[in-house]
Structure 1
Amino acid sequence: MTSTSLLSAETETRRALQLDALAGILPLERRDKLATILTDDDVATLRHLAKEGMGENSLRALASDLAYLEAWSFASTGSALPWPAPEALVLKFVAHHLWDPTQRESDPAHGMPAEVDAALRAGDHLRSEGPHAPSTVKRRLAHWATLHRWKGLESPLGTPAIRTSMRLAVRASAKPRRRKSKRAVTRDILDRLIATCQTDRLADTRDLAILLVAFASGGRRRSEVARLRLEQLTLEADVPLDPDDPNSPRLPCMAIALGRTKTAQADDDARVLLIGPPVAALREWIERAAIKTGAVFRAIDRWEAIDDRALTPQAINLILKRRCAMAGLEPIEFSAHGLRSGYLTEAARTGVTLPAAMRQSQHRSVQQAARYYNDADQALGKAARLAI
């Protein structure tokens, strides 16, 4: 081994050890890969952001985008990202990722150069074909700008040239928005999934609680379901089945203190309520699993021994897909995000007002939440039925 390669190996090992401080956020295999891509300054920045209290999901996404930006910089310029980034480099990034597929057919040099594409694919940084989704490019540019701010540097990301190039490039690339889950888990789908959880097996009890809690609490994100802790739950006074009839049958009620989420900080007082069957299912799981503190949803082995550690967000997603398969549905069409989109779609179908649904789902963006309402209106309205 040469002295240069030995030094490189030692550097990667040092960075991997420094990234161990983020072990609860970055999986081990991801940590080792990041150590080969990120610079020492990058690692120091990520550790600082974690120390300052950036949310786990936000930090994970930022680390992933920073790694991609570094890999792209090496592939396209032969060097690490410069700080601050020259405006020309940002324009090059936009041109490489948002381009016109029609123009590419007549001009192979249009868009990302073949050698840059090949280098990114060789490093497993690029898998999709064609121009990138505008939302992905905007997110990476936003993270690039965030890192400039954290470093106390002036960012070129907001200059008129960048804004104009983005607007024109998005229009030219014309790539349809791809949803995180092809199909929403609406109430009819949820009922089919629930029907697969009706034995007395511990896994059925747990999965029933996961499905009902994730859906009824406003379509919680899989990361929020995975890290739910007993300390976040509070039993409330029973409530009437019919809010307009105080004499209607009483239903159990439980509050979930959300704490830090993708759109809320830890010191926010946001909470949502569970009413009726989700409360019963959750209480049964907690009682059967003898959970006294800590993580609510945990792994179960083949002998029905329950782990002390929380399920991962990926495990929540796999549970949903497994239940879809058991219900005779195509797992590839669903993901855990389908519970979130399904909640809002079902709320729209049943006449729940958008502000009320957003209070439960904790969406901060009216535009994003309204998209599900608009989809439901289209499906239920007469405009698409004129040829019937």
Structure 2
Amino acid sequence: MQPHEVERLHRDPLDLAAELPLSADEAAYVEAARAPNTLRGYRSDWAEFTTWCERAGRSALPAAGDTISMYLTELARHGAKVGTMSRRLSSIKFAHQLRDLPDPTTGARVVAVWEGIRRTHGAPPEQAAPLMFPELDDVLDRCGQTRTWKTRPPEPDVAGLRDRALLLVGFWGALRRSELAALTVDQLTEHRRGMVLALPRSKTNQRGEQTELVVLPYANRRTRCPVTALGAWLDAAAITSGPVLRKVSRGNRVLDRALHPESINDLVHAAAARAELAGGPYSAHSLRAGFVTYSHLRGASDRAIAHQTRHRSLATLGAYVRVETAWEDNAATQLGL
């Protein structure tokens, strides 16, 4: 393989300016066409694919159908998950589409191999366990309260205040981790019944065609109140603008940097681990799943739940509650054995 071919192989698939006469504004709009997390995934997947192509002596751009089928076969043989392979296919397809090249993932050979892989290696995705009350009470109780030091007086644990706000806002708001990470002060509006969050974008509203409203009601119990927890965190952190949920240093100082969605995932996992909860796995999605499940068990209608979660399909809600409802009116629980 010639040096210029190797360089082209590893080129950023989204760097169209290298091959097409794009203006700066056009290049910026290309970047805006997908969510930042999606673009990061595409770039990572493309780097992995091009490395494999270089090792195998195959062309990555344009890629032939047999290159894709061989790549999928090797991934499957080494134990890659079906979800991972599906994402790689999307990245390869996207890189070709941006250059007006034929989609190499739609040929008969690739389709046949891909269907066989999914049938052979496919498995239900591992779902996050719902995190809800009363277990959520235990998780909140284990968040830090006070930090003690050898060289300065004890202080309120601001990371603990942040974590309580994250957990309660994430639960009551049924928010995704990306929405929690992107939340800013100017999206918060006080209301006589609590607070309203105005989300300009979400997973199902990536183009921001309509602002989505999420309510945070005052809770009867202060320890369960998302508005109280959020206010305590913002006051202690002296946050009046910018990102709501931020990093906290080991020295108990709030940093001017928003939490990354993956960091939010790690914080929820760590909070559940501190409470030594059974079951799992627990992640940031456990808060959203917990809201749906808890609301259903408390008698809320699917339409009312979807009003808060912003699900476009009511059928999707069933995936969150099926484990709990499987026990309802089931003959296996009535055998008396």
TM-score range, shorter chain: 0.7 to 0.9
Alignment match, 1:19:
none
Q: Could you tell which deviates more after superposition, 297-306 or 256-265?
A: 297-306
Q: Which residue of 2 aligns with 1:89?
A: 67
Corresponding residue number in structure 1 for 2:318: 370
**Counterpart-to-counterpart distance in 2, 1:381 and 1:301:** 50
Instruction: State whether residues 217 and 272 of structure 1, in contact with CA within 8 Å, keep that contact through their aligned partners in structure 2.
Output: yes
TM-score normalised by structure 2 residue count: 0.78
CA distance in 2 between partners of 1:368 and 1:217 (Å): 18
Q: 1:164 to 1:350 in 2, by over 3 A?
A: farther
Aligned residues: 306
Contact 1:57 1:262 in 2 (8 A): no
Q: In structure 1, give the amino acid aligned to 2:113.
A: S
Whether 1:78 and 2:49 are equivalent positions in the alignment is no
Of 224-233 and 375-384, more deviation after overlay is shown by 375-384
Q: Quick one: distance in 1 between partners of 2:132 and 2:124?
A: 21
* Unaligned runs of at least 5 residues, structure 2: 18-26, 146-155, 219-224
Aligned to 1:62: 42
1:348, 1:161 → 2: CA distance?
45
- CA displacement 1:116-144 (0-9 Å, x = unmatched): x5xxxxxxxxxxxx3x3323222322232
Q: Structure 2 matches for 1:145-294, cutoff 5 A? A: 145-173=93-121, 175-179=122-126, 181=128, 183-197=129-143, 199=145, 200-218=156-174, 220-236=175-191, 238=192, 252-265=193-206, 266-276=208-218, 277-294=225-242
Post-superposition Cα deviations, 1:227-268, rounded to whole Å, max 9, x if no partner, equal 2110111112x3xxxxxxxxxxxxx32111222223322343
Contact 1:55–1:261 under 8 Å retained in 2: no
Equivalents in 1 of 2:285, 2:125: separation in Å?
13
Higher relative contact order (CA 8 A, sep 6+): 2
Residue 23 of structure 1: aligned partner: none
Q: CA 1:43/1:166 → structure 2, altered by over 3 Å: closer, same or farther?
A: closer
Identify if the C-alpha distance between structure 1 residues 94 and 304 changes in structure 2 by more than 3 Å, giving closer, same or farther: closer
Q: TM-score, normalised by structure 1?
A: 0.69
Structure 1 alignment gaps of length 5 or more? 12-36, 99-111, 118-129, 239-251
Partner SS for 1:274: strand
Instruction: Compare 306-315 and 325-334 and name the one that shifted more.
Output: 325-334
SS of the residue corresponding to residue 15 of structure 2 reads helix
Q: Deviations over 1:93-131 (max 9, x none)?
A: 333334xxxxxxxxxxxxx3xxxx5xxxxxxxxxxxx3x
What is the deviation of 1:331?
10
Percent sequence identity over aligned pairs? 28
TM-aligned CA distance change 1:149 to 1:82, over 3 Å: closer
Question: Is it true that 1:295 corresponds to 2:243 in the alignment?
Answer: yes
Matching residue within 350, 362, 365 for 2:298: 350
Contact 2:72 2:114 in 1 (8 A): yes
Query: Using the alignment, how far apart are the partners of 1:364 and 1:70 within structure 2?
Result: 37
- Report the alpha carbon displacement of residue 295 of structure 1 after superposing the two structures with TM: 1.0
Q: In 2, are the aligned partners of 1:298 and 1:306 still within 8 Å (CA)?
A: yes
Q: Work out whether residues 321 and 335 of structure 1, in 8 Å CA contact, stay in contact via their aligned partners in 2.
A: yes
Contact 2:14 2:95 in 1 (8 A): no
The secondary structure found in structure 2 opposite 1:328 is coil
SS of residue in 1 equivalent to 2:13: helix
Moved over 6 A (4+): none
Counterpart residue identity of residue 326, structure 1:
R
Cα displacement (A) at 1:275: 0.7
CA distance in 1, matches of 2:54, 2:278: 40
TM-aligned CA distance change 1:50 to 1:385, over 3 Å? farther
Q: Deviations over 1:138-178 (max 9, x none)?
A: 232223222222222221323454434333331122x4234
CA distance in 2, matches of 1:72, 1:255: 48
